[in-house]
Amino acid sequence: MPTSLAFQKPLESLDVVLVNENRGTQTMLRSMVSHMKIARIRAYDHAEQALGDMVVDPPTVLLADWSMKPMSGYRLIRMIRNKSMEPLCFVPILAVTAMPTLTMVDRAFSIGASNIIVMPVSPVVLRRRFEWLAQDGREFTLEGDSYVINGMDEVLEDRVRRTNLGNLLQRQKAMQDALSKRAENAQDIVDKIVNGEVDVDATQDVPPTGKPDQSKVTWNSWNVN
């Protein structure tokens, strides 16, 4: 099975494409990549133009903004991973985002992103991501018409199982705490009854005789008949 186009390549030989509609972020990332002595860097504001050029001249690394418009990073990755895009479909992709929610992370990895860059990123962290890509020997597996990274589905399923288990345990603990609290409150009421600490409201249920009705007394808003 094929591996990524950056596997076992030195950083100096990489051909990097940056796609980011935010010019400030694009400039910052380009400056950081340049300091790595990368062989070639191409930057684009929009995914449509970048995709057209990459089909003709595939890069060895792609940094794609997740939230750009009109074509988002999600759509761009989905299109690139289609088997009809070979050899571009084997380019390692770093999804760039400032809001790495669990949903975003799951979606990015499930469609074939190699890793995620969280902005703002430091030059040290970015370089480590590139070095990691050069050592990433995971193979691509064809699922239907698209390639995904081998083993990623098991990783995501395991994370979901662990997340669901954690949520279940949290709910169980909350229920146990609530039941314990109710039991403590009930015990307090019982103790007050036993100790004769009954707070009778003399203005309630007073019969014509002028004496309280002993058949119904109240304490702490509880009624006893």
Which of 149, 180, 196 marks a domain boundary? Answer: 149
Q: How many residues does the chain have?
A: 225
Specify the pLDDT at position 77.
97
Which of 114, 149, 184 marks a domain boundary? Answer: 149
Three-class SS state of 188: helix
The answer, yes or no, to whether the previous bond of 212 is cis (omega within 30 of 0) is: no
Specify the pLDDT at position 144.
94
Residues 6+ apart with CB under 8 A from 102: 163
**pLDDT tens track of the chain, all 225 residues?**
899 999 999 999 999 999 999 999 999 999 999 999 999 999 999 999 999 999 999 999 999 999 999 999 999 999 999 999 999 999 999 999 999 888 898 899 999 999 999 999 999 999 999 999 999 999 999 999 999 998 776 655 655 555 554 454 566 666 666 666 766 666 676 566 566 675 544 444 444 445 545 444 433 444 434
Specify the pLDDT at position 223.
43
Is residue 59 domain-resident?
Answer: yes
Q: Alpha-carbon distance 221 to 26, whole Å? A: 65
Which of 88, 123, 149 marks a domain boundary? Answer: 149
Identify each DSSP E strand in 53-104 by its residue range: 61-65, 93-97
Specify the pLDDT at position 187.
60
Nearest Cα to 134, choosing from 5, 31, 1, 2?
Answer: 5
User: How many Å is the maximal CA-CA distance in the chain?
Assistant: 103
Are both 139 and 72 inside the same structural domain? Answer: yes
User: Cβ(83)–Cβ(142) under 8 Å?
Assistant: yes
Is residue 154 domain-resident?
Answer: no
Is residue 1 domain-resident?
Answer: no
Is residue 131 domain-resident?
Answer: yes
Structural domains of the chain, count: 2
The range of the structural domain enclosing residue 113 comes to 11-149
Are both 137 and 27 inside the same structural domain? Answer: yes
For helices 102-110 and 73-80, the axis angle rounded to 10 degrees is: 20
Residues 6+ apart with CB under 8 A from 195: none
Q: CB atoms < 10 A from the CB of 63, how many?
A: 27
* Six token digits for residue 93: 């992709």
Nearest Cα to 149, choosing from 176, 110, 179?
Answer: 110
